[in-house]
A and B are shown apart, each in its own frame.
Chain A
Amino acid sequence: MTSLATARSAKAAPSPLQDRPSLVARARKRIRTANLPAGAVSLVWLAIIGIPLYALVASTFRRTEDYLDDGPLSVPSNPTFDNYQKVVDKGFDTYFINTAIVTVATVAIVVLLAVPIGYAVVRSANRSTQMVFRFFLLGLAIPAQAVIIPVFLIISKMHMYDSLPAVILPSAAFSLPVSVLILAGTMRDISEELYEAMALEGVSVAKMLWYLTIPLSRSGISTVAIYTAIQAWNGFLFPLILTQSKEERVLTLGLYDFVGEFRVDAPGMLTAVLLSAVPLFVAYLFARRALVQGLMGVGGK
């Protein structure tokens, strides 16, 4: 009821707004005064996020003895790079390359499959493509964890167990529903007139996709690529269940295996944790806007 009231007053608002801009300015100013409770919460949250991240970075430069004496929060007094050397020596480079392959391949499959689906869902006039959209909407509700046993069955029957494709194929599949929803959302915004103009010149359906739909839905495609890349880079369940040997190991699984090796070596463990996220941190540094938009877009409009 109350929302109705505010909505109604909003409807009536435009005329006074135009007449008396100063009134709006004054009203806005009143709200602009410092919001103390929110400010306090924001600082507490900053500490909750910031302190562990500080401990994570600072610890990687500490010697194990120092860490065990001084605890996670002390400032590294005589910094060392030994931890990084140690982690790389344990085969981190192989895991790194494997993860990069998995990520690139997963993104490629998802984009290749999701773009035509989005195109068909948005542009097709026939009913069956509406069912395709609903199909993926329902697909969103299938949790990977809950179907991991049959996925294991399928992968082993295909003789792919313990290979990178065993990780890539299901990872791509479970990124598809979100990707289709995002792409359909972006592609819906392309105006009908543009298609009509192309049709006047006798452009084929495939060329319309290539020259019109894809260029105009670049933002959606990059959202999909970013979202899928983060999921693939950080994925743990599929590698855990579907690979075994050291040669096929990805970063997350490598980290998990370090638990045994670095049992009492906290700086070594934290260095591995930090290194596993370096590419995403670098990406964040250079493409923060795209990354943020990418994850915001997942929540839908």
Chain B
Amino acid sequence: MTKTTGQSRRSGPAVGRPGVIWAIPGVMYFSFFAVLPMLLVAYMSFTEWDGLGNPKFVGLDNWERLFSDSLMGQSLWLAFLLTVLTWAVQTPLSLLIGVWAAGYQRNRAVLSAIYFLPLLLSSVAISLLWRTLIDPNFGLPAQAASWFGIDNVDLIGQSNTALYTLVFVATWQFVPLHSLLYQGGARQIPQSLYDAASIDGAGRIRQFFHITLPQLRNTITTSSILMVVGALTFFDTVLILTQGGPGTDTTITPYLMYRTGFVSYEMGYGSTIAFVLVVMATAASLVLVKMTGFGAMRSTREGM
């Protein structure tokens, strides 16, 4: 194991270097539980399986069904809508909160400590908390309704408010993480940039747009990828809050896959839907990486 390949031929002692064998156990483990399933999703999309026995090859049946399935079309549209909405709501909010929390003032530290709390709750806990709080009979909307004299306060019983509720709960759940990322990013921006800008007479808003935003380029990419992939696989909250309803109005693609696979036990067709999800998540990440030049890993310190 103590191979000395690639030792430095320069002066200095020959440092023993670990061979690739050190990584083999981990690579095999990950391959078995993650890469193999990904290949199997592709294979299983051409099979029929009810969860017992073995998957049976059925050729293109599932794919033909997929292209004529109106539920699939609707679910993709809803997943797209949810992704765009959660991104558009969360990004500005996380940016503002994160940059604000990056200051070292005492009150900001205290508030940041509270902002962090939702991160400790599981998505199940958060969904159940909100399910209870927005209960049409005994929750917050019922109280607000009695103050303002509104009739229908069943937020998850109506299709448009059900979708907005999901966006809101996702925001409550994930903005703490993303603002934390932005806080970390903002703290790495050199103070000298701000000092220089202040001397040049740039105010707070100009500093934000001309220093903070460009300097946070990599953080914005990381955060956006996490949001988009997260929204594409957003599932727990839908299962607990809306069960895809009312009707099928919040049945986004991952929930449709779950229902097909584990409620109707059509795991072959479920895999076909899952395969579409894998492709979409990968494509979305690649597009974001390309668009922002993240892959090149340009330094944000260029020119300093």
Interface residues of A (CB under 8 A from B): 2-14, 16-17, 23-24, 27-28, 30-31, 35, 38, 41-42, 45-46, 48-50, 52-53, 55-56, 59, 67-68, 71-73, 109, 113-114, 116-117, 119-121, 123-126, 128-129, 132, 135-136, 139, 141-154, 156, 169-170, 172-174, 176-177, 180, 192, 195-196, 198-200, 203-206, 208-209, 230, 233-237, 241, 251-252, 255-256, 258-259, 266, 269-270, 272-273, 276-277, 280-281, 284, 288, 291-292, 295-301
Q: Tell me whether B180 and A233 are in contact (CB under 8 A).
A: no
A205 and B2: CB pair below 8 A? yes
A-B contacts, 21 listed (Cβ < 8 Å): A6-B210, A8-B303, A9-B196, A10-B196, A45-B115, A49-B117, A113-B26, A119-B22, A124-B6, A125-B5, A126-B20, A142-B34, A147-B274, A148-B274, A149-B257, A176-B34, A195-B15, A203-B16, A236-B122, A288-B113, A300-B218
- By DSSP majority rule, is chain B's interface helix, strand, loop, or mixed? helix
Q: Judge if B96 is at the interface, Cβ distance under 8 Å.
A: yes
Question: Which residues of A sit under 8 angstroms from B97, Cβ to Cβ?
Answer: 41-42, 45
Q: Are B132 and A72 in contact, CB atoms less than 8 angstroms apart?
A: yes
Q: Shortest Cβ distance from A93 into chain B, in angstroms?
A: 18
Among A73, A146, A266, which residue has its beta carbon within 8 angstroms of that of B143? A73
Q: Closest residue of chain A to B181, judged by CB?
A: A299
Judging by beta carbons under 8 Å apart, are B44 and A117 in contact? no
B14 and A199 contact, CB distance less than 8 A:
yes
Q: Are B133 and A72 in contact (CB under 8 A)?
A: yes
Q: How far is the CA of A192 from the CA of B285 in the complex (A)?
A: 34
Among B26, B121, B125, B282, residue most surrounded by chain A Cβ atoms (within 10 Å): B26
Minimum CB–CB distance from A2 to chain B (whole Å) comes to 5
B95 to chain A, nearest CB (A): 11
B188, A146: Cβ atoms closer than 8 Å = no
A interface SS class: helix
Residues of B within 8 A of A28 (CB): 194-195, 198
Q: How far is the CA of A73 from the CA of B38 in the complex (A)?
A: 46
On chain A, the residues within 8 Å of B183 by CB distance are 296
Q: Which of B36, B100, B202 contacts A42 (CB 8 A)?
A: B100
Instruction: Give complex CA distance A290, B200 in Å.
Output: 38
Cα distance A300–B199 when bound, in Å?
32
| A117 adjacent to B26 (CB under 8 Å) | yes
A170 engages B33 (CB within 8 Å): yes
Q: Which of B23, B119, B198, B226 contacts A121 (CB 8 A)?
A: B23
Q: Which residues does chain B contribute within 8 Å of A252, judged by CB atoms?
A: 122, 124-125
When distances are taken between beta carbons in the complex, the residues of chain A under 8 Å from B120 are 230, 277, 280-281, 284
A277's partner among B1, B121, B257 (CB-CB below 8 A) is B121
Q: Please tell me if the beta carbons of A196 and B30 are within 8 angstroms of each other in the complex.
A: no
B291 interface residue (CB < 8 Å to A):
no
Contact of A256 with B240 at beta-carbon distance under 8 Å, contacts A113-B26, A180-B26, A269-B128 already known:
yes
Which one of B83-91, B159-167, B229-237 contacts A?
Answer: B229-237
* Neighbouring A residues of B210 by C-beta, 8 Å: 2-3, 5-6
| B residues with CB within 8 A of A | 1-2, 5-7, 12-23, 25-27, 29-30, 32-38, 40-41, 44, 49, 51, 55, 93, 96-97, 100, 108, 111, 113-125, 128-133, 135, 138-140, 142-143, 172, 176-177, 180-181, 183-185, 188, 190, 192-200, 202, 204, 207, 210-211, 214, 218-219, 222-223, 226, 229, 232-233, 235-236, 240, 254, 257-258, 261-262, 267, 270-271, 274-275, 277-278, 281-282, 285, 302-304
Whether A292 contacts B116 by the Cβ 8 Å rule is yes
Closest chain A residue, CB of each to CB of B28: A113
Docked Cα-Cα span, A136 to B34, in Å, equals: 11
Report yes or no: A7 in contact with B304, Cβ–Cβ below 8 A.
Answer: yes
Closest to B115 in A: A49
B22 close to A120 (CB less than 8 A)? yes
Complex CA distance for A153 and B116, rounded to whole angstroms: 37
Pick from A151, A277, A301: contact of B188, CB under 8 Å: A301
User: Are A10 and B304 in contact, CB atoms less than 8 angstroms apart?
Assistant: yes
Top 7 nearest A-B pairs (CB, nearest first) are A125-B6, A27-B198, A234-B122, A173-B33, A150-B40, A299-B181, A150-B37
